[in-house]
């Protein structure tokens, strides 16, 4: 039925049969026994016709009377978009690990450690089929600190300052990038709960277009309700689904029959042939005649937008042990509905990697990101374990899983960088410094604007010498800009400069007063504040940026162990030295059967004591005696990660 506004249909002031203020027979309102005619429905319908369709209500007008209606998402600047509040920082990613499953010819899946906004800004447009995210719900500070990393803690200022609008601005900037990354046929699914879902829906209407809204899926997580004061207990989450365009893909998903339908199935589908159980029904042909037809039993019923899937609780088999872990079945259903086999699934708030596990099982490619180093470590470990398990399930049958790479954005491992091949190291340093690689002038590695740049050795122990300075000065003198434009500067980037190198540069500069042969060389250490000036300048606008382009050291691993009984050992990492100032250990993982790659023994990752602190000691009973290879990984809360391996004789 068409909606009518009271004042238009004239009902609001005629609810009691008289116009308000009208006095009949000296009395307000109807008299006893008086007949009150029903409102003229024809009349009100006609007037309702003048009202716009519901869709028109939905479309936000520019003004509502004298009040301007915001049609752009919160935080959007007309000229600079979200880059006004969150300036762009282009930094390289550092590949720290390639977890191999034996198919180096295939393009690897990608797991990023870093702030998703900046990671996404470096990914190509229209490259992803489905984005599922489960961001912090705006439900309380403590609840949202899951892994305890410094980066996780830091980002909360950004999320929580400014209350709900602040949260929406923070999320909008990210949703905007996600829209850019989605293929036209793609879909986004944002997992939230009652705290923010209604506010985010309005922002998503503005970002994606209200016409692109597909579903509000209610995840009824089936947890037992307890008595609650003041309102019903809240036991569901909400998944907001938007298509990227009209072309977004969807495939209905069949779910298992409920018990009631199963009963029905038993009695009605009482025939069977090679195609399965069926029942007979009567159909009408186009000529009006009737005929009998078989109706086969579907493998389930079509899922609606209310999904009852049990939450991960203390006894769930798939439980990893961190709060907010979502069930694989939930995300699996999302992936099945909105992607095809081989499609690319992304989760930029990856947590412990549930989305990737579901994607891997369903044969999809994936890409993920988390700002917590521990989350990334847990995810990598979980994926390696999953592929081992899939191999067992396939029992020898060939199956193909692409490798995955772990990439760091913004915070880098100095030690690993110093072990990189020279060309990779150079490329990394130039990119981080905002320079480009250009090697057409001998002895010059790149340019920042017009200034020639030289990059030192990857090895941190190899400091720059006076001879290096001299050689670079000669290279600068050979450039056209030196000869024609009289431009005489250059920049040397390195881990360290020897005193004789500093002296040599001074000498070259002093020539400025006496000799036209001078060159002005600037020496910048890679781990210094000057190196990261183009990033730190942005920190005044956004505290989050303070940490970008910094380096971390792995912990110095010390592992002790002793035999406590037959095949049982106690391991201890408490003597491990954390090298990043102010950092502490936040996670320990053990692999008591270390093979080609690290994959923690079940129950030996993210173990917390009663005080919620990580367990630094662990006991393990080996199944058999003999030589065993074991490994231990430790992460600190700044992002440093150490690996220790050993071979022990178990008796």
Ligand X SMILES: C[S@@+](CC[C@H](N)C(=O)[O-])C[C@H]1O[C@@H](n2cnc3c(N)ncnc32)[C@H](O)[C@@H]1O
CA-wise closest residue to 218 among 234, 199, 202, 233: 234
**x-or-dash pattern for ligand X, window 540-559, by CB under 6 A?**
--------------------
Binding part of the chain for ligand X, among 299-307, 370-378, 426-434, 631-639 by CB under 6 A, reads: 370-378
Phi, psi at residue 328, to the nearest 5°? -60, -35
Stretch that binds ligand X, among 70-78, 96-104, 300-308, 349-357 (CB under 6 A): 349-357
The reply to whether 237 sits near ligand X by the rule CB under 6 A is: no
Question: CB of 314: closest distance to ligand X in angstroms?
Answer: 16
Q: How far is the CB of 111 from ligand X (least distance, A)?
A: 12
Q: Give the residue nearest to ligand X (CB).
A: 351
- CB neighbours of residue 40 within 10 Å: 13
CB nearer to ligand X: pick between 319 and 478:
319
Residue 335 CB, shortest distance to ligand X, in Å, is: 13
Q: Is 382 exposed, middle or buried (0-12, 13-18, 19+ CB in 10 A)?
A: buried
Rounded distance, CA 121 to CA 138, Å? 24
Per the CB < 8 A criterion, the answer to whether 539 and 509 are in contact is no
Q: Which region among 16-24, 92-100, 363-371, 413-421 touches ligand X (by CB under 6 A)?
A: 363-371
Q: Give the nearest distance from C-beta 149 to ligand X in angstroms.
A: 7
Smallest gap from residue 152 Cβ to ligand X (A): 5
Q: Which stretch binds ligand X (CB under 6 A): 229-237, 366-374, 387-395, 554-562?
A: 366-374
Q: Taking CB under 6 A as the rule, does residue 187 contact ligand X? A: no
C-beta closer to ligand X: residue 172 or 354: 354
Of 331 and 435, the one with the shorter C-beta distance to ligand X is 331
10 Å Cβ neighbour count for 335?
25
Distance CA 202, CA 74 (A): 10
CB 483 within 8 A of CB 452: no
Q: Compute the least distance from the CB of residue 354 to ligand X, in Å.
A: 3
Q: List the one residue from 354, 589, 605, 635 that touches ligand X (CB under 6 A).
A: 354
Whichever of 360 and 618 has its CB closer to ligand X, that residue is 360
Among 130, 335, 369, 583, binds ligand X (CB under 6 A): 369
Q: Least distance to ligand X from the beta carbon of 388, Å? A: 20
User: Distance (Å, rounded) from C-alpha 472 to C-alpha 494?
Assistant: 13
CB of residue 158 to ligand X, shortest distance in Å: 8
Nearest to 375, CA basis, from 577, 88, 144, 611: 144
User: Who contacts 157 (Cβ-Cβ below 8 Å, separation ≥6)?
Assistant: 543, 544
The three-state secondary structure class of 259 is helix
Work out how close the CB of 159 gets to ligand X at its nearest, in angstroms, rounded to a whole number. 7
Q: Residue 458 has which token pair? A: 């990857």
Minimal CA–CA distance to 606: which of 367, 383, 379, 413? 379
Per CB under 6 A, the segment of 33-41, 288-296, 300-308, 350-358 that binds ligand X is 350-358
**Most distant CA pair in the chain, distance:** 117
Give me 359's structure tokens: 């994607």
Nearer to ligand X, 93 or 371 (CB): 371
Q: Pick from 92, 351, 452, 490: which binds ligand X (CB under 6 A)?
A: 351
Report in angstroms how near the CB of residue 641 gets to ligand X at its nearest.
16
Distance of CA 264 to the CA centre of its chain: 43
DSSP letters for 391-442: HHHHTT-------EEEEEESEEEHHHHHTS-HHHHHHHHHHHTT-EE--SST
Q: Which is nearer to ligand X, 115 or 336 (CB)?
A: 115
Please tell me the count of residues contacting ligand X according to CB under 6 A: 19
Nearer to ligand X (CB atom), residue 146 or residue 241: 146
Report the residue number, 195 or 271, with the smaller CB distance to ligand X: 195
Name which of 347, 349, 368, 360 is nearest 399 in CA terms.
360
> Which range of residues in 65-73, 347-355, 386-394, 422-430 is near ligand X by CB under 6 A?
347-355
> In the complex with ligand X, which residue's Cβ is closer, 60 or 164?
164
Q: Across-strand partners of 451?
A: 448
Of 352, 446, 614, 642, the residue at the interface with ligand X (CB under 6 A) is 352
Question: Is residue 100 a contact residue for ligand X (CB under 6 A)?
Answer: no
Among 93, 150, 339, 371, binds ligand X (CB under 6 A): 371
Nearer Cβ to ligand X (185/600)? 600
337 C-beta neighbours (distance < 10 Å), count: 20
Name 93's bridge partners.
409
Q: Which of residues 117-176 bind ligand X (CB under 6 A)?
A: 134, 136, 146, 152, 155
Compute the least distance from the CB of residue 369 to ligand X, in Å.
5
Pick the closer one to ligand X by CB: 207 or 650. Answer: 207
Binding ligand X by CB under 6 A: which of 97, 115, 237, 407? 115
Rg (CA), the chain: 33
Sequence-separated (6 or more) residues with CB below 8 Å from residue 297: 265, 269, 276, 277, 278, 279
Position 349 contacts ligand X (CB under 6 A): yes
Q: Which is nearer to ligand X, 152 or 177 (CB)?
A: 152
Question: Which residues, in sequence order, are CB contacts of 526 under 8 Å at separation 6+?
Answer: 429, 432, 493, 494, 495, 551
Strands 67-68 and 236-243: unpaired
Residue 453 has which token pair?
């740049």
Total residues found in the chain within this entry: 651
Of 371, 361, 301, nearest to 335 (Cα)? Answer: 361
> Closest separation between CB of residue 406 and ligand X, Å?
14
Give me the least distance between CB of 650 and ligand X, in Å please: 34
Beta strands in 285-374 (DSSP E): 290-296, 301-302, 306-308, 344-347, 365-370
HSE (CB half, 13 Å, CA atoms) of 360?
A: 30
Q: Which of the ranges 70-78, 181-189, 369-377, 602-610 carries the binding residues for ligand X, by CB under 6 A?
A: 369-377
Separation between Cα atoms, residue 241 and residue 364, nearest integer Å: 19
Distance separating alpha carbons of residues 184 and 339, to the nearest angstrom: 13
492 binds ligand X (CB under 6 A): no
| Rounded Cα–Cα distance for residues 562 and 554 (Å) | 25
Assess 116 for contact with ligand X (CB under 6 A).
yes
- 597 C-beta neighbours (distance < 10 Å), count: 17
Is 197 a binding residue for ligand X by CB under 6 A? The answer is no
User: Which lies closer to ligand X via its Cβ, residue 405 or residue 444?
Assistant: 405
> 316-345 mask for ligand X (x: CB under 6 A)?
--------xxx-------------------
* Span interacting with ligand X, options 49-57, 280-288, 364-372, 595-603, rule CB under 6 A: 364-372
Residue of 339, 372, 589, 605 that binds ligand X (CB under 6 A): 372
Q: Interface with ligand X includes 375 (CB under 6 A)?
A: yes
- Residues lying near ligand X in the complex (CB under 6 A): 115-116, 134, 136, 146, 152, 155, 324-326, 349, 351-352, 354, 369-372, 375
């Amino acid at each position: 039925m068409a909606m009518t506004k009271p004042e238009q249909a004239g009902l609001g002031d005629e609810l009691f049969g008289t116009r308000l203020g009208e006095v009949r027979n000296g009395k307000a309102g109807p008299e006893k026994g008086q007949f009150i005619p029903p409102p003229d429905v024809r009349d009100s319908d006609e007037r309702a016709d003048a009202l716009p369709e519901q869709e028109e209500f939905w479309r936000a007008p520019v003004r509502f009377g004298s009040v301007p209606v915001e049609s752009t998402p919160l935080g959007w600047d007309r000229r600079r978009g979200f880059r006004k509040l969150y300036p762009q920082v282009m930094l390289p990613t550092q590949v720290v690990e390639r977890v191999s499953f034996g198919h180096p010819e295939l393009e690897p899946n990608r797991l990023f450690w870093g702030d998703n906004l900046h990671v996404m800004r470096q990914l190509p447009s229209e490259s992803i089929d489905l984005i599922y995210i489960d961001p912090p719900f705006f439900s309380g500070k403590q609840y949202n600190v899951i892994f305890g990393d410094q980066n996780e803690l830091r980002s909360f200022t950004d999320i929580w300052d400014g209350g709900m609008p602040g949260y929406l601005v923070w999320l909008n900037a990210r949703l905007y990038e996600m829209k850019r990354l989605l293929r036209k046929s793609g879909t986004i699914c944002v997992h939230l709960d009652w705290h923010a879902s209604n506010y985010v829906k309005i922002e998503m209407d503005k970002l994606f277009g209200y016409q692109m809204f597909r579903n509000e899926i209610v995840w009824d997580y089936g947890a037992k309700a307890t008595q609650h004061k003041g309102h019903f207990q809240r036991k569901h989450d909400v998944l907001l689904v938007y298509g990227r365009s009209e072309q977004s893909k969807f495939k209905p998903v069949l779910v298992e029959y409920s018990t009631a339908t199963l009963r029905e199935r038993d009695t009605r589908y009482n025939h069977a042939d090679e195609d399965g159980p069926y029942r007979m029904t009567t159909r009408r042909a186009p000529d009006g005649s009737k005929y009998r037809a078989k109706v086969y039993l579907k493998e389930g019923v079509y899922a609606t937008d209310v999904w009852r899937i049990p939450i991960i609780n203390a006894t769930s088999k798939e439980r990893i042990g961190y709060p907010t872990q979502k069930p694989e079945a939930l995300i699996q259903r999302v992936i099945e509905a909105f992607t095809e086999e081989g499609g690319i699934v992304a989760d930029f708030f990856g947590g412990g990697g549930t989305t990737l596990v579901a994607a891997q099982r369903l044969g999809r490619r994936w890409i993920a990101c988390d700002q917590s180093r521990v989350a990334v470590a847990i995810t990598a470990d979980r994926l390696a374990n999953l592929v081992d398990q899939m191999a067992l399930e396939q029992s020898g049958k060939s199956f193909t899983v692409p490798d995955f790479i772990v990439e760091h954005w913004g915070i880098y491992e100095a030690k690993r960088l110093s072990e990189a091949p020279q060309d990779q190291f150079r490329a990394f340093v130039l990119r981080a410094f905002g320079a480009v690689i250009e090697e057409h002038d001998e002895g010059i590695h790149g340019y920042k604007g017009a200034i020639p740049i030289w990059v030192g050795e990857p090895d941190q122990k190899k400091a720059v010498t006076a001879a290096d300075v001299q050689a670079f000065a000669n290279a600068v003198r050979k450039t056209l800009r030196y000869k024609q434009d009289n431009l005489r500067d250059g920049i040397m980037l390195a881990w360290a400069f020897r005193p004789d190198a500093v002296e040599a540069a001074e000498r070259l500069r002093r020539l400025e007063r006496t000799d036209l042969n001078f060159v002005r060389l600037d020496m910048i250490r890679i781990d210094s504040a000057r190196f990261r000036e183009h990033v730190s300048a942005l920190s005044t606008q956004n505290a989050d940026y303070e940490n970008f382009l910094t380096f971390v050291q792995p912990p110095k691993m010390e592992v002790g162990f002793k035999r406590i009984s037959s095949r049982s050992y106690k391991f201890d990492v408490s003597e491990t030295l954390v090298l990043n100032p102010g950092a502490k250990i936040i996670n320990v993982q053990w692999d008591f059967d270390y093979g080609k790659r690290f994959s923690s023994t079940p129950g030996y990752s993210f173990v917390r004591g009663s005080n919620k602190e990580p367990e630094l000691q662990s006991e393990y009973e080996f199944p058999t005696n003999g030589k065993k290879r074991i490994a231990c990984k430790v992460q600190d809360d700044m992002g440093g990660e150490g690996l220790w391996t050993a071979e022990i004789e178990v008796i």
